[in-house]
Amino acid sequence: EDQVTQSPEALRLQEGESSSLNCSYTVSGLRGLFWYRQDPGKGPEFLFTLYSAGEEKEKERLKATLTKKESFLHITAPKPEDSATYLCAVQAGSRDYGGSQGNLIFGKGTKLSVKP
């Protein structure tokens, strides 16, 4: 069964204290792995898409990496405004498949709190 597990469930950091969030997955062929940020009472905001092992994407203080079993979201020198829940989602199935299979499977998220 396709599954996505995020850890830790919650993470408290001091401003400037770098850390990493983990997303491990087991899927039958990975078409894509997606990171989103979700603020309380809001819809998820798209951050990154990763398609293959070894791929990395960066945006401001965030960097996402991908291996064959997991993805990491690295946060460098976080600020209080980075506080949010970070969601990981995977799309299963071969990328060579031209159909619409492979709906997104979401993890439960990591709630990040950054204190000033």
Binding residue (CB under 8 A) for other proteins from 23, 44, 65, 114: 44
What is the radius of gyration, based on Cα positions, of the chain? 14
Report if residue 87 touches other proteins, rule: CB under 8 A: yes
Residue closest to 94 by CA, chosen among 36, 52, 35, 65 = 52
Cα(60)–Cα(63) distance, integer angstroms: 8
Give the count of residues interacting with other proteins (CB under 8 A). 23
Residue entry with tokens 């299979």:
101
Report if residue 34 touches other proteins, rule: CB under 8 A: yes
Return the C-alpha torsion angle 20, 87, 97, 26, nearest 10.
60
Cα(59)–Cα(41) distance, integer angstroms: 23
Q: What mask, x for binding other proteins by CB under 8 A, covers residues 11 to 30?
A: --------------------
In this chain, which stretch among 14-22, 52-60, 74-82, 104-112 interacts with other proteins, using CB under 8 A? 104-112
Binding residue (CB under 8 A) for other proteins from 15, 45, 56, 58: 45
Binding residue (CB under 8 A) for other proteins from 65, 66, 82, 102: 102
Residues that bind other proteins (CB under 8 A): 31-32, 34, 36, 41-46, 49, 87, 89, 91, 100-104, 106-109
